[in-house]
Amino acid sequence: MPLRAKVASSVSRTAAALSRAAGRGDGSVIGGWIGLKIDPDLLAHLSAGRAIALVSGTNGKTTTTRLTTAAVGVLGRVATNSFGANMPTGHTSALAKAGSTPYAVLEVDEHYLAQVLEATEPHVVALLNLSRDQLDRAKEVAMMAQLWRAALVRHPRIRVVANADDPMVVWAACPPADPAQGHVPPHVTWFSAGQRWHDDSWVCPECGSTIQRSGEQWWCTGCPLRRPEPNWTVEDDGVLDPTGAWHKIQLQLPGKVNLGNAATALAVAAEFGVRPVDAVSRLGTVTSVAGRYAQVDRDGRNIRLLLAKNPASWLEAFDMADVAPTLLSINARDPDGLDTSWLFDVDFSPLTGRQVLITGDRAYDLAVRLEVNGVPFQHVRSFDEAVRAVPPGRLEVIANYTAFQDIRAELDRVN
């Protein structure tokens, strides 16, 4: 590593430690920021010599990164950005903090994937899904897919692990090969993780025709784009690998969506030579991920935290939540996006029959939405009031980003 990068890396670690000591979060952003100021190529220098996997998509990237880190851990030490700091400053800080490791698994914000591909030259990139998120500022879904696609064209040697169930991801993962320019199609391994949300992929990104669906299959009515045959699939409570071997998966994380994330993690780890049979037991060691799925006991209530940031992830949260009293909390601060109209893209009727409480800055938006769905609810002004309002036993909490962080803070920043 050049001297400037060494200094930057060491300063980055020190800054992160100082930031943590001062009680300003986990320091992963500020440390990386200072490091990058001293050496703008620091992320590239820190990446050199490591075999790296990048994990990106609208939903599930934090959990999939954690599961992949556990799986690749079979081979040796793995650096990762475990605090959800998923932009280049967070990657820089995570790699600097980890020191030299043979492997790294990094969660990447979907808007930064092209930039991080350039800097880290990963061995493999996992593409999970693309759907609407933060309507007031996110790029159009089709435009995100186009950016991913353009980035992959520039890096044809990177191996791709991609979701066969999401038409936008499939299109992004298969850029046209141009032999005249020396372009070869990328090597893609397909997984099937299921997709409950279809509302952002009715129109073909290639030709603009309608996309038809039947069961798990989908195909464009105007061009050859269609669902590729997946190499890794979820079957019952396990994962089928490309050799046809089935592996039982025992996760501590709820829901079918996390079985899909486990399949993805095994597929990514396999790109490094990890055999699924050696990795499955490690997946079961992951309990909660930056507070997601964490369980806390308070006043006889077992409180479980589920994060849901956009329509697709709300549908998944309803699927994984137990039939139990449920607190919904909605904010619309900067990190959440200021626009709450997505509430009407989500069908809240799965909550019918459960005791539903609502809170958060934008509880009234939620109230109007639940009324239309015919779901009775009770408005509470605080988390404590919610806990007191439900009987002893399980309380499911489903919240969007800053609402989730507020509740996590109430519970002493549970991890």
Residue positions annotated with a catalytic role: 339
Structure-block tokens of residue 231:
């190499």
The shares of helix, strand and coil residues in the chain, as percent rounded to the nearest 5, are 40, 20, 40
Q: How far is the CB of 361 from other proteins (least distance, A)?
A: 9
How is residue 224 annotated by DSSP?
A: S
Q: Which does 202 bind (CB under 5 to 8 A by kind): other proteins, Zn ion, none?
A: other proteins
Does 345 bind other proteins (CB under 8 A)? Our answer is yes
How is residue 221 annotated by DSSP?
A: S
Give the span between the Cα atoms of 114 and 121, in whole angstroms: 10
Structure-block tokens of residue 40:
């703008």
For Zn ion, the closer of residues 17 and 223 by Cβ is 223
Residue 174 annotated as lining a ligand binding site: no
Of residues 123-182, which lie at the interface with other proteins (CB under 8 A)? 132, 135-137, 140-142
Of residues 160-219, which lie at the interface with Zn ion (CB under 5 A)? 204, 206-207, 209
Instruction: Report yes or no: 264 and 68 within 8 Å, Cβ to Cβ.
Output: yes
Which of residues 118, 334, 371, 384 is near other proteins by CB under 8 A?
371
How many residues in the shown chain lie near Zn ion by CB under 5 A? 8
Helix (H, G, I), strand (E, B) or coil at 203: strand
Which of 65, 66, 123 minimizes the C-alpha distance to 271?
123
Residue 258 sits at φ, ψ, to 5 deg, of -75, -25
Helices (H), 252-332: 256-270, 276-283, 311-320
Q: Using the rule CB under 8 A, give the single segment among 104-112, 115-123, 244-252, 336-344 that binds other proteins.
A: 336-344
Q: How far is the CB of 198 from Zn ion (least distance, A)?
A: 16
Q: Which does 219 bind (CB under 5 to 8 A by kind): other proteins, Zn ion, none?
A: none
Q: Which does 225 bind (CB under 5 to 8 A by kind): other proteins, Zn ion, none?
A: Zn ion
Q: Which does 207 bind (CB under 5 to 8 A by kind): Zn ion, other proteins, none?
A: Zn ion
Q: Which does 223 bind (CB under 5 to 8 A by kind): Zn ion, other proteins, none?
A: Zn ion
Residue 204 annotated as lining a ligand binding site: yes
Residue 207 sits at φ, ψ, to 5 deg, of -130, -5
Which of 258, 270, 400 minimizes the C-alpha distance to 339?
400
Q: How far is the CB of 371 from other proteins (least distance, A)?
A: 6
301-307 and 378-379: which strand pairing?
unpaired
Q: Which does 246 bind (CB under 5 to 8 A by kind): Zn ion, other proteins, none?
A: none
Helix (H, G, I), strand (E, B) or coil at 305: strand
Give the span between the Cα atoms of 338 and 336, in whole angstroms: 7
232-235 and 238-240: which strand pairing?
antiparallel
Give the span between the Cα atoms of 269 and 279, in whole angstroms: 8
Residue 223 annotated as lining a ligand binding site: yes
For other proteins, the closer of residues 246 and 364 by Cβ is 364
Give the span between the Cα atoms of 382 and 130, in whole angstroms: 33
Q: How far is the CB of 296 from other proteins (least distance, A)?
A: 30
Q: How far is the CB of 144 from other proteins (least distance, A)?
A: 11
Of residues 215-234, which lie at the interface with Zn ion (CB under 5 A)? 220, 222-223, 225
List strand residue ranges (DSSP E) for 215-278, in order: 217-220, 232-235, 238-240, 246-248
Q: Using the rule CB under 8 A, give the single segment among 55-63, 96-104, 116-124, 338-346 that binds other proteins.
A: 338-346
Across 208-231, b (16+ Cβ under 10 Å) vs e yields: eeebeeeeeebbbeeeebbbbebb
How many residues in the shown chain lie near other proteins by CB under 8 A? 28
Instruction: Report yes or no: 360 and 366 within 8 Å, Cβ to Cβ.
Output: yes
Give the span between the Cα atoms of 356 and 378, in whole angstroms: 6
Q: Which does 132 bind (CB under 5 to 8 A by kind): Zn ion, other proteins, none?
A: other proteins
Residue 207 annotated as lining a ligand binding site: yes
Does 206 bind other proteins (CB under 8 A)? Our answer is no
Q: How far is the CB of 328 from Zn ion (least distance, A)?
A: 38
Does 199 bind other proteins (CB under 8 A)? Our answer is yes
Q: How far is the CB of 219 from other proteins (least distance, A)?
A: 14
Does 364 bind other proteins (CB under 8 A)? Our answer is yes
For Zn ion, the closer of residues 221 and 352 by Cβ is 221
For other proteins, the closer of residues 341 and 415 by Cβ is 341
Using CB under 5 A, list all residues that contact Zn ion.
204, 206-207, 209, 220, 222-223, 225
Using CB under 8 A, list all residues that contact other proteins.
132, 135-137, 140-142, 199, 202-203, 208, 210, 221, 338-345, 364-365, 367-369, 371-372
